[in-house]
């Protein structure tokens, strides 16, 4: 099984997200994460979908997505040659006054931002790879994780090297 990032350029019209996700459902594929937003050209949106499957399944997903009339371009990104990040918010419990300091330190180690620091909880925002997010999540659990919200991955492939 492999983890794949699919970058899908679609027409920016209502109903297309439904069709894309419906395709995954009806073909028995799996969506690991999904993020959607407009591109530099407002006529188009970009969906970034991560999925897990064997090579044959992922090839099929790409072909089926490509066949969809609303998709303008479907690319499987090279994971090793792409910048991929996810935005996540953690609401972390503050049990005792020292926790606040500890959480601040932890956040700065991960280049995360502190929001809404209250007596009982702190919201931490970070943009990172899924791996880093998991690592931070483990550390935050020590304090108690009240809530977590993630955006799903978004990604762009790096330009080819210029020689």
Partner 1 sequence: MSDNNKMENMIGATALMKSLEKEGVKEVFGLPGGANLPMYDELGKSNIRHILVRHEQSAAHMADGFGRVSRKPGVCFATSGPGATNLLTGIATAQADSAPMVAVTGQVPVAMIGKDAFQESDIIGMANPALKYSYQPRTPEEIPTMVKQGFYIAETGRPGPVLLDIPKDVQQNEGKFTFPDEVRVPGYHPWADPDITNTARAVELLLSAQKPIILAGGGVIISSAFAELQSIAELLMIPVVTTFKGKGAFPENHPLSLGPIGMHGHAEANKLMTEADCVLAIGTRFSDRSVGTFAEFEKNLKIIHMDVDPAEIGKNQTTSVAVVGDVRASLRIFGKMLMDKAVRTSDDNPWLKHVKEVKQYWRENLKIHPGEMGAAKILRKLRELLPNESIVTTEVGQHQMWASLFFDAIHPGTFFSSTGLGTMGWGFPAAIGAKTARPDVPVVDIAGDGSFNMTENSLATAVLEDLPVIVFLINNYSLGMVAQWQRTFYDRRMVGVDLKKCPDYVKLAESYGAQGLRAQSMDELDSAIKTALKSDVATVIDIPIDPEEDVLPFVAPGTGLKDMILPS
Task: Please tell me whether residue 113 binds partner 1 under the rule CB under 8 A.
Answer: no
**Scanning residues 58 to 87, which ones bind partner 1 (CB under 8 A)?**
59-60, 63-64, 66-72
Task: Please tell me whether residue 111 binds partner 1 under the rule CB under 8 A.
Answer: no
Task: Please tell me whether residue 147 binds partner 1 under the rule CB under 8 A.
Answer: no
Residue 125 burial by Cβ neighbours in a 10 Å radius (0-12, 13-18, 19+)? middle
Task: Please tell me whether residue 54 binds partner 1 under the rule CB under 8 A.
Answer: no
Task: Please tell me whether residue 35 binds partner 1 under the rule CB under 8 A.
Answer: no
DSSP class of residue 158? P
Q: How many CA atoms lie within 13 A of 122 on its CB side?
A: 24
Q: CB of residue 59 vs partner 1: minimum separation in angstroms? A: 6
State how far the Cα of 114 lies from the Cα of 125, in Å rounded to an integer. 6
Number of residues that bind partner 1 (CB under 8 A): 20
* Choices 12-20, 28-36, 84-92, 111-119; region in contact with partner 1 by CB under 8 A: 12-20
Enumerate the β-bridge partners of residue 3: 52
State how far the Cα of 35 lies from the Cα of 52, in Å rounded to an integer. 16
DSSP class of residue 79? G
Residues that bind partner 1 (CB under 8 A): 10-11, 15, 18-19, 22-23, 26, 56, 59-60, 63-64, 66-72
């Amino acid at each position: 099984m492999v983890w794949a990032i699919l970058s899908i350029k679609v027409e920016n019209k209502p109903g297309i997200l439904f069709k894309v996700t419906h395709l995954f459902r009806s073909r028995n594929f799996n969506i690991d994460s999904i993020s959607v937003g407009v591109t530099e050209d407002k006529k188009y949106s970009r969906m970034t979908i991560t999925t897990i499957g064997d090579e044959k399944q992922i090839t099929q997903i790409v072909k089926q997505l490509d066949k969809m009339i609303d998709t303008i371009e479907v690319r499987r990104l090279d994971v090793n040659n792409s910048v991929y990040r996810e935005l996540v918010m953690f609401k972390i419990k503050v049990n005792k006054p020292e926790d606040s300091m500890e959480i601040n330190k932890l956040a700065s180690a991960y280049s995360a931002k502190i929001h809404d620091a209250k007596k009982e909880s702190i919201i931490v925002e970070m943009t990172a790879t899924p791996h880093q997010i998991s690592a931070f999540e483990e550390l935050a659990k020590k304090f108690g994780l009240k809530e977590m919200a993630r955006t799903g991955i978004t990604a762009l492939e790096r330009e080819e090297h210029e020689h």
